[in-house]
Chain A
Amino acid sequence: MNPAVLIASVYVFALAAFLGYQVISRVPPLLHTPLMSATNAISGISLIGSLVLAGAGNSRFAHLLGFVAVTAATINVVGGFGITDRMLKMFGKRLDAKAPKTSGSK
């Protein structure tokens, strides 16, 4: 890695850290579980590194590593987004759920 790229990467890291701090400290405790699950799914972005390894790796061993990595990262991404959505759906339906509640308990 040449020094210019390294320095640019460090800038990206530092700015992302700052941005992350700003954005995430505004998330209410109510949503901490979905937040963890969502950021976890987002960090499954290492999938794109896995894809390159599985598809362009130049040895059988590299392909195999890539295959396992793609599988693991995909589980992380699909499972993570899926479950986050399931949780957020529960938080979102609250407003409609309020109406039938007064008419009696289920």
Chain B
Amino acid sequence: MSLASYFMEGTYLLASILFVFSLKGMSHPETARRGMFLAEAGMLAAIIGTLVGEHIVTWGWIIAGLTIGSIIGAWMAVSVPMTAMPQRTALSHAFGALAAALVGVGEFVTHGAQMGVVTRGALGFEVMLGALTTTGSLIAAGKLQGVIRGKPIQFRGQNAINLVISVAMTGSFVFFWIHPEVIAAFYSMLGLAFVFGVMLVIPIGSADMPVVMSLLNSYAGLAAAATGFVLGNNVLIIAGTLDGFSGFILSVLMCKAMNRSITNVLFGGFGAVIAEAATETGGMMREINIEDAAMQLAFANRVIFVPGYGLATAQAQHAVRELADVLEDRGVTVKYAIHPVAGRMPGHMNVLLAEANVSYSSLYEMEQINPEFPSTDVAVVIGANDVVNPDARDNPKSIIAGMPILEVDRARSVIVLKRGQGRGFSGLENPLFFKPCTTMLYGDAKSSLSHLAQAIQHV
């Protein structure tokens, strides 16, 4: 082995260690940023090591790719608003997975003939996972951006068709594995994987996106790990596996927070067939105006804000913080209750509120905050629906039965900020809105919140 190769392997080892340390830093907001610098240094070292240690003959393509990629990547990093974070992350998954898939195709084109059985197997996994994650993530990004309809797209025999596609894809994979000389088998596997990615994500509703995002995150990582097996490169295996497992852990957490299984999310088409399970709630929704709501908040001791995806769509994160500031100046204790699946990706609400300068020490997880609702004067629900639906707890026939919820209905009074009288995203009736302690404040969340803040200053 030459000196340059030793240097390259050294940088790979360094990168692997730095990646692990960077994720360890993620365990606390104070250390997280420093951790990321370590990861960036590791990545840079691995890139330099590769360029020094490998036999690079043409530099043109490399320089062009690095330049174009850096420009687009930097532009995305700087320009994307925090509210669009889920779309951006989905797009990023697509790019990473595409790179893994293309490296696989490149390996097949250049070394396909000499590959052993094991390498071919790993190559198949790499290309399939990479391709289906690419298209799946693009569809997810399209749904989140609103380019594609967010509601589940379903049709008769969908699961049967998906089954046929996945069997055909697996069949091509096995055929390629046994007969690597048949080029058509490899490319049909690639093509079917692209189609399968689309089919996998279109039937999933936007409310289930946190699970899908985590799963795609996991697949993108596993594709990179498979690349490592193909190239016999340990840093790829380590980095890919870390990503794969992180995504997997997140998907499990998200599923638990919805009391559903991964199979149910992928093949259940949530939000499409509901109707009959809705309880006959009876009663009336009581409307409240800004002045009365302001009065209620101004004379409260404890207020808890419960944000949902509606906060993101209304871009109301700054308005919430301003209202909270006004309340805190009056001596009101303000907390935020964050449900794990509020929003469209894990941790979505935390990022939005952090952007608006809300201290992370006032953001509370579901288990921490639920015991506090009974002693809370006013719970303000901002664009959240299913995560505060008491049916999940009380009505065993409900489609969301068993899903852990934020128990806002135990608060002394509840103000729900809502666009209109509609049923919200899942189409599920929410008995919370009909409770005697609940009042509804209709209108755009952002303007309602800033009007509330103004009104309180005049109280």
Q: Chain A: residues with CB nearer than 8 A to chain B?
A: 1, 5-6, 9, 12-13, 16-17, 19-21, 23-59, 61-94, 97-98, 101, 104-105
Contact = CB atoms under 8 A, between A and B. Distances in A.
Contact of B103 (A9, A58, A69): A69
A51 B62 contact: yes
9 contacts: A9-B237, A16-B238, A34-B347, A40-B243, A43-B240, A54-B61, A65-B103, A71-B69, A91-B360
Contacts of A6: 118
B128 interface: no
B121 to A, nearest CB: 10
Contacts of A42: 19, 22-23, 39, 43, 239, 242-243
Nearest to B78: A82
A72 B99 contact: yes
A23 B238 CA distance: 13
A86 to B, nearest CB: 7
Interface of B: 15, 19-20, 22-24, 26-30, 32-33, 36, 39-40, 43, 46-47, 50-51, 54-59, 61-62, 64-66, 68-70, 72-74, 76-78, 80, 82, 85, 88-89, 92-93, 95-96, 98-100, 102-103, 105-107, 109-110, 116, 118-119, 213-214, 217, 220-221, 223-225, 227-229, 231-247, 249-250, 253, 322, 325-326, 328-329, 338, 340, 345-348, 350-351, 354-355, 357, 359-361, 363, 365
B interface secondary structure, majority: helix
Contacts, number: 379
Contacts of A35: 23, 26, 246, 250, 346-347
Contacts of B100: 46, 49
B335 to A, nearest CB: 14
B148 to A, nearest CB: 21
A57 to B, nearest CB: 6
Given A44-B99, A48-B233, A75-B92, A21 B32 contact: no
A69 B98 contact: yes
Given A57-B110, A101-B325, A36 B345 contact: yes
A33 B85 CA distance: 8
A101 B70 CA distance: 37
Contacts of B239: 42-43, 45
B359 A94 contact: yes
A58 B109 CA distance: 9
B106 A81 contact: no
B77 A79 contact: yes
Given A13-B241, A30-B347, A32-B350, A45 B61 contact: no
Nearest to A79: B73
